[in-house]
Amino acid sequence: MLAARRGRSGWDWTDWASHFYLLLGVALMFGPVLWLFVSSVKTQAALDTFPPTFLPWEQKQATLPGHAGALPVFQIMAGDRAGQSLVQIRRIGLEAQLASPDDPAKIARVPISQLRPELRLHASWSNYTDLLRKFDFGLYFLNSVFITVVATVLTLLVNSMAAFALSKYRFKGREPVFLVMLATLTIPPTIVLVPNYLIASALGLTNSLWGVIFPAVATPTGVFMLRQYMLTLPDEILEAARMDNASEWRIYWRIVLPLSAPALAVLAIFSVMWRWNDFLWPMVVLSRSDVFTLPIALFSFQGDLQTQWQYLLAMTACTLLPVTLIFVFLQRYVTQGVASVGVK
């Protein structure tokens, strides 16, 4: 029932059950994110509506000569004006005063039970543009991009150098070094939170983007992954290069690194994910808002903006967009990378 079925054809009930399970899973995995995106282009009024509609419907608005601002448009459902759509000027008790933009002087009085708001589909992209105007969203975004890019480049460089030495050189202490690095896999960063904060502040790295970048540059995962890959490169190539009088450094960056490109790509994707999503350590090191990364800014705003979900949702959508793009274009590499290395 559960094991792989091979070599038979035709659909039996287990195929139906599998597809049902998988479709349910897809709905559960993508649905919440889709709901977030759809919600993020709704106006505040549409977000406050209960029960919510799936698409961003909102009440049509119009201006009337002689009246300030935009006024709501209603459709009249019953009575002698049924079918007309008019602009509401004011409401008095259970009666509304409405008028047509063509003839604003002629005021109709209609009981509100006969009114239905006239809706239109409207994506409120201003939620997104407001992020740039009202918050330092661009700054947080750049901070996150800077940390992600610089940290990933440094991680690839530092880890590949170590992996090169650990896979291609024989030297005293090679095994202990490798074992010690592996052992740090079991030390969760949360355990060294307090002392790392001391070290960061002693080095003047608090409230600095470098304070987020440096501590996690030497990932044991990366060293391990790259070392395993470099072990598969034949030593003869290196020997041939040495015959040609190439320096060891040149062998490293001209031969070994390009040949390790597939493993480096997987590590790069991981590193981008780790850094873009990092939360606890940046929250400890960064306390000034001008150095906030996107997740930290999101977290600090979610307390203040509970009444302004439209901005919170738009900001969340922007934060998940880059990883979503990576996922769409590189998902094959990501999933294969995880499967082959078993790390995240």
Partner 1 sequence: MGAGFHRPAALGTLIARALGLLYGAVMGLPERPMRAAQARMRGGRLGWLFVAPNLLVFGVFTFLPIVIDFWYALTGGAQLLPQDRPYVGAENFRSLLACANYLDPTSCERDLFWYGVWNTLKFVAIQVTLMIVFSLLTALVLNRRIVGRGFYRAAFFYPVLLSPVVVALIWKWILQRNGILNATIQGAGGNGVNWLVDADWAFFWSIFVSIWAHMGFYTLILLAGLQAIPADIYEAAEMDAASPWRRFRRLTLPLLTPSLVVVFILGMIRAVQIFDEVYVLTGGGPGTATVYLVQFIYQTGFAAGVRQYGLAAAGSLLLAAALLLFTLLQLRGLKRGAP
Among 32, 65, 69, 83, binds partner 1 (CB under 8 A): 32
Write the CB contacts of 9 (distance below 8 Å, at least 6 apart in sequence). Answer: none
Q: Which is nearer to partner 1, 30 or 95 (CB)?
A: 30
Tell which residue, 177, 154, 180, has the closest CA to residue 167. Answer: 177
Among 172, 176, 179, 234, binds partner 1 (CB under 8 A): 172
Q: Which is nearer to partner 1, 94 or 249 (CB)?
A: 249
Q: Are 208 and 291 in contact (CB under 8 A)?
A: yes
Binding region for partner 1 (CB under 8 A) out of 73-81, 97-105, 233-241, 322-330 = 322-330
334 counts as binding partner 1 under rule CB under 8 A: yes
Q: Which is nearer to partner 1, 73 or 181 (CB)?
A: 181
Among 10, 171, 236, 243, binds partner 1 (CB under 8 A): 171
Binding region for partner 1 (CB under 8 A) out of 71-79, 97-105, 128-136, 241-249 = 241-249
Among 10, 12, 13, 50, binds partner 1 (CB under 8 A): 50
320 counts as binding partner 1 under rule CB under 8 A: yes
Q: Which is nearer to partner 1, 5 or 106 (CB)?
A: 5
Q: Are 271 and 151 in contact (CB under 8 A)?
A: yes
Binding region for partner 1 (CB under 8 A) out of 58-66, 105-113, 119-127, 244-252 = 244-252
Q: Which is nearer to partner 1, 157 or 237 (CB)?
A: 157
Q: Are 297 and 289 in contact (CB under 8 A)?
A: yes
Site residues for partner 1, window 249-278 (CB under 8 A)? 249-250, 252-253, 273, 276-277
Among 6, 109, 133, 288, binds partner 1 (CB under 8 A): 6
Report the distance separating Cα 273 and Cα 268, nearest Å. Answer: 9
1 counts as binding partner 1 under rule CB under 8 A: yes
Tell which residue, 31, 32, 52, has the closest CA to residue 43. Answer: 52
333 counts as binding partner 1 under rule CB under 8 A: no
Site residues for partner 1, window 141-170 (CB under 8 A)? 157-159, 161-162, 164-166, 169-170
Site residues for partner 1, window 180-199 (CB under 8 A)? 180-181, 184, 186-188, 190-199
Burial of 98-108, coded b for 16+ CB within 10 Å and e otherwise, reads bbbeeeeeeeb
User: Tokens representing 216?
Assistant: 């996690």
Tell which residue, 278, 144, 160, 288, has the closest CA to residue 216. Answer: 278
Q: Are 334 and 272 in contact (CB under 8 A)?
A: no
314 counts as binding partner 1 under rule CB under 8 A: no
Q: Which is nearer to partner 1, 112 or 320 (CB)?
A: 320
Minimum distance from residue 106 beta carbon to partner 1 (Å): 39
Q: Are 159 and 268 in contact (CB under 8 A)?
A: no
89 counts as binding partner 1 under rule CB under 8 A: no
Angle at the Cα of 117 from the Cα atoms of 114 and 121, rounded to 5 degrees: 155
Report the distance separating Cα 240 and Cα 272, nearest Å. Answer: 35
2 counts as binding partner 1 under rule CB under 8 A: yes
Site residues for partner 1, window 214-233 (CB under 8 A)? 214-218, 223
Report the distance separating Cα 339 and Cα 39, nearest Å. Answer: 34
User: Tokens representing 171?
Assistant: 């030297």
Among 10, 12, 13, 51, binds partner 1 (CB under 8 A): 51
| 71, containing H or E segment | strand 71-76
Minimum distance from residue 172 beta carbon to partner 1 (Å): 6
Amino acid at 93: G
Q: How far is CA 271 from the centre of its chain?
A: 14
Pattern 288-307, partner 1, x by CB under 8 A: ------xx--xx--x-----
DSSP 237-270: HHHHHHHTT--HHHIIIIIIHHHTHHHHHHHHHH
